[in-house]
Amino acid sequence: MPRKDFEHLVGEGFERLPDWVREKIKNVAVLVEDEPSDEDLRAQGIDPDAQDGETQETLLGLYKGTPLSERGEQYGIGMTMPDTITLYQLPIEDAADEEAGEGASDEEFFERVREIVADTLWHEFAHYFGMDERAVREREQQKEGVDNRA
């Protein structure tokens, strides 16, 4: 998919966030890169050197910064670099291709990319608001109507 089309879907995904969420977002840059760096994978506990046959994990997105829940009174005084949320186009496209299945039309693939981008943005902004990975996963399950507390 051309980068311009992917970036358009990122903009759409941001607009799909609830108004109250978008209103609270300050000093965050949303970026698009092809793939996560080996350094970022390692920092997230993913082995970038996994061989064929081993579980090949990757990242669809990554939040870097100071979550809102950890910002004190001094945050933003002086020069403050923006937090970043990076979406990784190639892993998202791979996930969409896998989910759409063999023989999927271009339209089906595009719709899967759209959904994965929106879900990934939601996930990364949840980290921005201070949720750890466990809390984000629980919220995602609630959002999807899945309850694993039984």
Query: Is 147's pLDDT higher than 50?
Result: no
User: For a pLDDT cut of 90, what percent of the chain falls above it?
Assistant: 53
**How much is the CA Rg of the chain, to the nearest whole Å?**
16
Reported as a single tens digit per residue, the pLDDT across 26-75 is 889 999 999 999 999 999 988 888 765 555 688 999 999 888 887 777 77
Residue for token pair 């910064």: 65
At CA 4, angle to CA 119 and CA 44, rounded to 5? 40
CB distance 124 to 63 below 8 Å: yes
CB distance 70 to 132 below 8 Å: no
Residue 148 lies in a domain: no
CATH number reported for the structural domain that contains residue 30 in this entry: 3.30.2010.20
Residue 119 lies in a domain: yes
Supply the range of the domain harboring residue 98. 3-143
Residue 149 lies in a domain: no
pLDDT value of residue 149: 41
Total number of domains in the chain: 1
Distance CA 137, CA 143 (A): 10
